[in-house]
Amino acid sequence: MLSAATIDSGATAWVLVSTALVAFMTPGLAFFYGGMVRSKNILGMLMQNIFAMGLISVLWAAIGFSLAFGGDGAYIGNFDFLFMKDLGTIAELPGYTKEFGLVVPIMVFFAFQMMFAVITPALITGATADRLKFSAYAVLIGVWGVVVYPTVAHWVFSPNGWLFKRGALDFAGGAVIHVNAGVAALAVILVLGNRKGWPREAMPPHNLPFTVLGTGILWFGWFGFNAGSALGANGLAAQALVNTHLAAAAAMCGWLVVEKLRAGHATTLGAASGAVAGLVAITPCAGFVGGFAPVIIGLTAGVVCYLALSLKTKFGFDDSLDVIAVHLVGGILGAVLLGFFADTKVNSLGFDGIFFGGGADLLIDQLVALGATIAFSFIVTWIIAKAIDATIGLRVSSEDELVGLDQSQHAESAYQ
Amino acid sequence: MKLVTAIIKPFKVDDVKEALKSAGVQGMTVSEARGFGRQGGHTETYRGSEYQIDFVPKMKMELVIDDADVDRVVDVIVRAASTGKIGDGKVWVTTVEQIVRIRTGEHGADAI
């Protein structure tokens, strides 16, 4: 049994609050995306996001957490915590010993990680907007949330995971959440196909105020996401919080400058997108970098993610709301830049990057982690999507697509 | 009896309404409309992609008036709705065969 002395009440309070902050990000994401779709599809979008809170939470309690954090295996957890068995009574979580020991109750760690598991598959909905059948979506994220997410979470987050042991760093889930979801989104849309009429027809956002509102909620929640990942109420959490904010701020500026130069106007959608790109890029780095590094990382993310928008038209895949440009590219960028900017003076559990005298070792480990995540997530997600498409069908009928998801999938209208 | 239909810029609705009331017009109907004429549409940019928006928001104003008032009313609308810039809109007049006031059952000019 965990002795009372090792539980830090301040840390527990902060991670409990962070859990609520991260939980709020999924409805935030719903509005971020919901504003960008056409008015006939907003309920479909809100529903897919909010439903992840329902389905994935249950699956996480039933099996997901156990597969991610149970046992000593390097590649996958086990069934020790199936249906939350023993979670309230065990002394420590496998791997979380010595310097990695938790100072919060395991139940708090379980809840905090649950919110990450929820938002990750929800990120995919931005790429599949306006055409993914709801039943197919439910099966997709249900299987994905059990097979793909816990596996990658185990590799990277669990101290027993092979990528963690190798030395790859991922503070709050650049690879586990953003690269994982981004590459899964690519796999799904390659099976799903493009929206009818894309890119010939204009499909402008129907409510940018919602998108800006969603951005605010995401930004706010991200403090829990990144600073909560310190799993303590301490200087590291403060550093992660400051890094998070500065990266979002700098990325917004970077995005707007390139947008103004290339497209003629600085737009509200650009400000929102830039901020999110910065939040994505700083996620893996948040507790490993310091000084002015978050500003440089954010600025780079704003510029690079903006430039990555053109990938979809170049290669002809309809990543409707730019999940790949923002989350996949932003996540890769953050993980790679960490190989340069990581500083053990910020976090002694990390490693020094190239700019801090650590040589290329960390960068190589980061690239291995990215390669493994991308390959595994892409292949498995593609197989899941293909299997769903061959059985119940992944996509709505063209008539339903024309009518919109709100009416065809949910028999509702957002606006009367 | 004539039906006067005016397509005007949305921000001119109040000016036109007040001018018409001052000119003695007793009723009108407005609806939100979208369309384009020589002004054409405009472009909007979302995440670097340009979209041509052809249909621009306009207000459509309709009023039924007596034949004798046509020139005066059209003149009032044109003066009140004008900004001198492209996209000010149009006014047209059509003949109305019959009008009935629902409450009283009055017909024709009495129902205006």
Domain positions in chain A: 4-410
Tokens read off for A348: 């002694």
Q: How far is B57 from chain A (nearest CA, A)?
A: 15
Is A1's pLDDT higher than 50? no
Give the position of tokens 């293909």: A386
B43 in reach of chain A (CB within 8 A): no
Query: Residue A280: which H helix or E strand, with range?
Result: helix A268-282
For A81-111, the pLDDT digits (tens) are 999 999 999 989 999 999 999 999 999 999 9
CATH code where residue B96 lies = 3.30.70.120
Total structural domains in chain B? 1
Nearest to A269 among B47, B50, B53 (CB): B47
**Selected residue with higher pLDDT from A287 and B49:** A287
Kindly state the average pLDDT of the residues A235-240. 98
Per-residue model confidence as pLDDT tens digits over A335-369: 999 999 999 999 999 999 999 999 999 999 999 99
Question: Which has more pLDDT, A200 or A9?
Answer: A9
**Model pTM score:** 0.90
Number of Cβ pairs closer than 8 Å across A and B?
29
Q: In this predicted model, what pLDDT tens digit does every residue of B58-79 receive, in sequence order?
A: 999 999 999 999 999 999 999 9
Q: Would the CB atoms of A263 and B52 count as touching at under 8 Å? A: no
For residues A382 and A119, what is the distance between their CA atoms, to the nearest angstrom?
20
pLDDT tens-digit series, residues A164-201: 999 999 999 999 999 999 999 999 999 999 999 998 88
DSSP A137-167: HHHHHHHHHHHTHHHHHHHHTSTTSHHHHHT
Decide if A309 and B50 are in contact by the 8 Å CB cutoff.
no
Distance from CA of B108 to the nearest CA of A (A): 36
- Give which of A32, A267, A305 to mutate to test B binding, by max B Cβ within 10 Å: A267
Residue B58 belongs to domain spanning? 2-111
Please state which of the four CATH numbers 1.10.10.10, 3.40.50.300, 1.10.3430.10, 2.40.30.40 is assigned to the domain occupying A4-410: 1.10.3430.10
**Whether A255 contacts chain B with CB within 8 A:** no
pLDDT at A246 over 90: yes
CB A342 within 8 A of CB A295: no
